[in-house]
Amino acid sequence: MSSKDFDLFRISEEHEMLRDAVRSLAEAKIAPFAAEVDEQARFPQEALDALLANDLHAVHVPEEYGGAGADALAMVIVIEEVARVCASSSLIPAVNKLGSLPVVLSGDEALKHRYLTPLARGEGMFSYCLSEPEAGSDAAGMKTRAVRDGDHWVLNGVKRWITNAGVSEFYTVMAVTDPDKRSKGISAFVVEKSDPGVSFGAPERKLGIKGSPTREVYFDNVRIPADRIIGAEGTGFATAMRTLDHTRITIAAQALGIAQGALDYAKGYVRERKQFGKAIAEFQGIQFMLADMAMKLEAARQLTYAAAARSQREDGDLTFFGAAAKCFASDAAMEITTDAVQLLGGYGYTRDYPLERMMRDAKITQIYEGTNQVQRIVMARNLP
C-alpha cells in the first residue's frame, strides 16, 4: 500500500539539504546577532558576511552571470531559514532578488552582464525603487521623471520606503518617461549609488525589521547613460508588476520563517514552563493554540511552495498564487507570532525574549510589496 518513493507534495532531497545547510549557517552566524541588530537598529553586517562567504546573498542570479542559479523554491528556503532567526537579515537575499529581477526579466544581455555579475560576486547589493510619498498602492501615480537628453536620461524625483537604501550599490528605479500614458509611460532604469545627484534620506524609525535600513532615495538631475534603461521605453511598470508576481513569494517565505521561529521558540518554552505543578504544554488550552499555529503555518507553507513552483515555471496563474501566498502567509505569521507572545505570557512581552521582535517583524509582511488589501484586489482580478 505505502510507497516511500511517491514524490508528489514533498520537496526534493536537494532542497532539504539546502535547508539543513542554511539552517546551520543561520543558527551559527546570524542568530547570535539578531537581538542586538534589532535593539541597536543597525545593519546586520555579520549576516551579510556569512551570506557572502557561503554564496547565499543572491542565489537567484543565473549561472551564466556567475550566480548560483537557484530555482524559486530554493530561494524560498534560503529566505525562510534566514528569517527564522533574523527577519532583518532575510531582507539581504530577498531585496537582492527584488531589486535585480527587473534586470533578469527585461534587461538586455549587456545590462545583465554589467549588473548581475557584480551582484553575484557580492560586490554590490540591489534595491528596488517603486513607491513614492504620494504613490504607494497606486504606484502608477508616481511623479519621478526621466527625460531623454541625447545619449542620456536625466532623473528627478523622490522614492520612499526603499529597503537597504544607502547600503545597496545598485537601484532599479521606475520613472515616468511619458506623462500622458500613465502606467504605459513608465520606464525602468538602473541607477548606481555613485551616480552624481543620488542621495538618501534619514533612516525611517520603524516598528520592526529594524536592522534593514529603509530610507528615501533622492534623484537630483541624475544623468545616466541611455543604455541603463531596463527593456524598452514604456515597459517599466509592466516589468515592475511582473517582478512583484515573483517576489511576493519571497515575502511569503519571510513570513513563514518568522512564524516558524516563533513557533519553535514557543514550543520549547511551554515544555519547560511549569505552572500548577506541570509543564504548561500539558494543558489542553495551550495545546489547541499550538495546534492552530502549526496548522496555519503548514497551510501557508504548502501554498507558498506551490506558488514558488509556479514562479519557476512562469505559469499563467502565477499572479494569483503569488498574491495569495504573500497574503495568506503574512496574515498567518501575524497570528502565529501574536499567539507565540501570548504563550510566553509576560516574558513574551519583554525584550529579554525574541517573540516580541518576531511579532513586530511579522507586521511588515502584511504591508510591503503590496498591502494585503491590494493582494486581495490582485487575487480578485485573477481568480483561478
Query: Where on the chain is the footprint of other proteins (CB under 8 A)?
Result: 13-14, 17-18, 21-22, 24-25, 54-56, 59, 68-70, 74, 78
Nearest distance, CB of residue 116 and other proteins, angstroms: 16
Phi, psi of 10 (to 5 degrees): -145, 150
Nearest distance, CB of residue 344 and other proteins, angstroms: 23
> Given the complex with other proteins, which of 277 and 346 has the nearer CB atom?
277
> Given the complex with other proteins, which of 15 and 206 has the nearer CB atom?
15
Nearest distance, CB of residue 13 and other proteins, angstroms: 8
CA dihedral 100, 104, 108, 109 (to 10 degrees): 100
> Given the complex with other proteins, which of 249 and 332 has the nearer CB atom?
249
The CA-to-CA distance between both ends of the chain, in Å, stands at 34
Q: Are 131 and 86 in contact (CB under 8 A)?
A: no
Query: How many Å apart are CA 324 and CA 155, to the nearest integer?
Result: 35
* Residue closest to 60 by CA, chosen among 69, 50, 49: 69
Give 3-state DSSP helix, strand, coil % of the chain, rounded to 5: 55, 15, 30
Nearest distance, CB of residue 61 and other proteins, angstroms: 11
Query: How many Å apart are CA 349 and CA 360, to the nearest integer?
Result: 11
> Given the complex with other proteins, which of 96 and 187 has the nearer CB atom?
96
> Given the complex with other proteins, which of 3 and 284 has the nearer CB atom?
3
Nearest distance, CB of residue 183 and other proteins, angstroms: 36
> Given the complex with other proteins, which of 78 and 259 has the nearer CB atom?
78
Q: Are 327 and 305 in contact (CB under 8 A)?
A: no
112-126 in b/e form (b: 16+ CB < 10 A) is bebbbebbbbbebbb
Q: How far is CA 116 from CA 54, 57, 58, 104, 242, in A?
A: 18, 12, 10, 8, 18
DSSP string of 5-21, one letter each residue: T--TTS--HHHHHHHHH
> Given the complex with other proteins, which of 14 and 220 has the nearer CB atom?
14
Q: Which residue do the cell numbers 560576486 mark?
A: 121
Give the 3-state secondary structure of residue 188: strand
Nearest distance, CB of residue 80 and other proteins, angstroms: 14
> Given the complex with other proteins, which of 71 and 369 has the nearer CB atom?
71
Nearest distance, CB of residue 163 and other proteins, angstroms: 23
| Partner residues linked to 135 by β-bridges | 132
CA angle centred on 201, ends 198 and 202, rounded to 5°: 145
Nearest distance, CB of residue 16 and other proteins, angstroms: 10
Active site residues: 369
Query: How many Å apart are CA 115 and CA 102, to the nearest integer?
Result: 11
- Residues with Cβ < 8 Å from 241, sequence gap 6 or more? none
Query: How many Å apart are CA 248 and CA 226, to the nearest integer?
Result: 30
CA angle centred on 150, ends 145 and 154, rounded to 5°: 25
